[in-house]
Amino acid sequence: MLANHPYLLLKLNRLLKNHSVKCMGVLVADKLGMRHLSVRIDPFVGCNLRCRMCHFSSPEFYGRKSEILAMDDYSRIARLLFRKAVQVVLGTGAEPTLHPHLPKLVEIAKQEYGVPFVSISSNAQLLTMDLATKLIAAGLDEYTISTHGVHQDTYERLQPPATFEKLHRAFANLTELAKAGSHKFSVRVNFTVNPDNHAELGEFFDVFGGYKIDTLQIRKVFDVDGAAYADRDLSRFETSLEATRLKLLEECRKRGTTLLCPSFQTKPEAPNPQAAILLPLVYRYASPSMVWREDFDWRHESYEVFCKRIHWHRRLVSMAFTRAAILARDIQDANRSLGYEVGS
């Protein structure tokens, strides 16, 4: 089933050009109760690190009071959304391993509601063998580790107060569990390349090649409000970064690892408004304080009642008959009109 492969669904989204088909497809899926939602949840709004490229490096943001998602509220969100979810991702802009019942959150999504793809995105500093074992046993499909340095000094400078030792411990724990083979899962690495770490990226597998890594995702540094890291200009490194990308591509092919990495020399194509339209229609963000939209009284009304109240199906039909360029423009500015809440 396609629902078991959310990354394939994203690829199909890019290939499918007709936005009207997408809008009507979401409408039909919702009416029939089919799985089509991408649910992203921050079960704990807070972090144990102050990564320099993240909003948690801002004293103002870091100083906010942490919030934890109560189990009753999580169960409520599960009842509202999980039967229609293709995937549930725990951790979008905060650290999920700070939640005391994280394995239970995975178990509810995977075993009670049969969500095809359940993943965690984390800095992995708190991923002990005990926690990793419980997460995998609960049915976790993918663990994503954010690491933005190949060498110890770079890693610890960009992601304070993380330690390189704990990072390697996390990779080692997951690799050992994979070798045990009792439960199948994948490991994904998220690496944001910037002017301080670009030179060592080509050595990634020299340092981490002994560990289980199924997907290596490399992203260009981007603007995050309040982040301490300010240098985002990679233009002077384009030639070397492109050579690194090709080297990693070859290495990943040998290892059977998927590489997700943009070209560093090819000019980006003009944005395809058709490709940008699906995600806001199926993305549902949740945290301890809100679900999807501020006007959703999620503790007291059902998802279906809310969709009816905001005329969601009628709006999907209207969007299907709106010109793609106009719709894409509205989506970019449309947190209020489409309810698209960016969690990360």
Predicted confidence (pLDDT) per residue in 142-162, tens digit:
999 999 999 999 999 999 999
Percent above pLDDT 70 for the chain: 86
Spatial separation of the C-alpha atoms in residues 167 and 123, rounded to whole Å = 8
Using the structure block, give the residue that is written with the tokens 């724990």. Answer: 173
First to last CA, the chain: 28
CB 189 within 8 A of CB 147: yes
Q: Is the pLDDT of residue 4 over 60?
A: no
Backbone angles phi, psi at 218, to 5 degrees: -115, 125
* CA distance to 91, 93, 194, 315, per residue, from 96 (Å): 5, 9, 25, 34
* CA distance to 115, 129, 174, 177, 335, per residue, from 135 (Å): 15, 10, 10, 11, 33
Of 277, 317, 284, give the one whose Cα is nearest residue 303: 284
Question: ∠ CA 121-127-129 to the nearest 5 degrees?
Answer: 135
Identify any residues that bridge with 87 across adjacent strands, giving them in sequence order. 38, 117
**Domains in the chain with CATH codes:** 2-7+37-274 (3.20.20.70)
Spatial separation of the C-alpha atoms in residues 37 and 41, rounded to whole Å = 12
- pLDDT tier, 65 (very low <50, low <70, confident <90, very high otherwise): confident
pLDDT for 342 equals 29
Q: Is the pLDDT of residue 98 over 90?
A: yes
pLDDT for 13 equals 64
Q: What's the mean pLDDT in 259-279? A: 69
Identity of residue 279: L
CB 229 within 8 A of CB 221: yes
pLDDT for 337 equals 32
pLDDT for 49 equals 95
Q: Is the pLDDT of residue 278 over 80?
A: no
- pLDDT tier, 41 (very low <50, low <70, confident <90, very high otherwise): very high
β-pairing, 67-68 vs 44-45, is antiparallel
Question: ∠ CA 101-10-94 to the nearest 5 degrees?
Answer: 30
- Specify the range with the lowest mean pLDDT, choosing from 16-20, 116-120, 259-263, 320-324: 16-20
Query: What is the 3 state secondary structure string of 85-107?
Result: EEEEEECCCCCHHHCCCHHHHHH
Backbone angles phi, psi at 204, to 5 degrees: -55, -50
Q: What's the mean pLDDT in 172-191? A: 95
CB 225 within 8 A of CB 54: no
- pLDDT tier, 182 (very low <50, low <70, confident <90, very high otherwise): confident
Q: Is the pLDDT of residue 97 over 90?
A: yes
Spatial separation of the C-alpha atoms in residues 296 and 303, rounded to whole Å = 8
Chain centroid, CA 185 distance in Å? 16
- Specify the range with the lowest mean pLDDT, choosing from 134-143, 223-232, 284-293: 223-232
Q: What's the mean pLDDT in 171-179? A: 97
Interacting residues of 83 by C-beta distance below 8 A, sequence separation 6+: 33, 35, 113
pLDDT for 28 equals 94
- Specify the range with the lowest mean pLDDT, choosing from 82-91, 170-179, 225-234: 225-234
Q: What's the mean pLDDT in 230-252? A: 95
β-pairing, 85-90 vs 37-41, is parallel
Q: Is the pLDDT of residue 341 over 80?
A: no
Average pLDDT of the chain, as a whole number = 88
Question: Model's pTM, two decimal places?
Answer: 0.90
- pLDDT tier, 80 (very low <50, low <70, confident <90, very high otherwise): very high
- Specify the range with the lowest mean pLDDT, choosing from 121-125, 136-140, 232-236: 232-236
Two tokens at 179?
């070798």
Q: What is the dihedral of CA 123, 258, 172, 162, to 10 degrees?
A: -20
Backbone angles phi, psi at 261, to 5 degrees: -155, 130
Interacting residues of 79 by C-beta distance below 8 A, sequence separation 6+: none
